[in-house]
Amino acid sequence: MANVATAPTGGQILVNIENISMLRDIKKAISMVRGVTKVTVPHIKRLSSYERSLRDLDEGRVYGYDSLDDLIKEIEG
């Protein structure tokens, strides 16, 4: 009796797209390829304002002023 090797199931391909406006057309083209069962586009989680604020703190995009008057002077230029 011969041993039969089976092909792996559930293969994936990652495609990086520079022009996001072409996403719909590329997704449609890939789905028309024989053997493709599902095309999914991962969505990036939107950060809450609190999470964005924490990121600003971590990356140093925070400014400090001694008083409100100093802030207003900075804004007015």
**Which DSSP letter does residue 3 get?**
-
pTM over 0.85: no
Domain extents for the chain?
20-76
Rounded CA gap, 68 and 77, in Å? 14
Could you tell me where the DSSP H helices lie in 1-77?
A: 23-31, 49-58, 68-76
Q: Per residue in 25-73, pLDDT tens?
A: 999 999 999 988 888 888 888 999 999 999 999 999 998 999 999 999 9
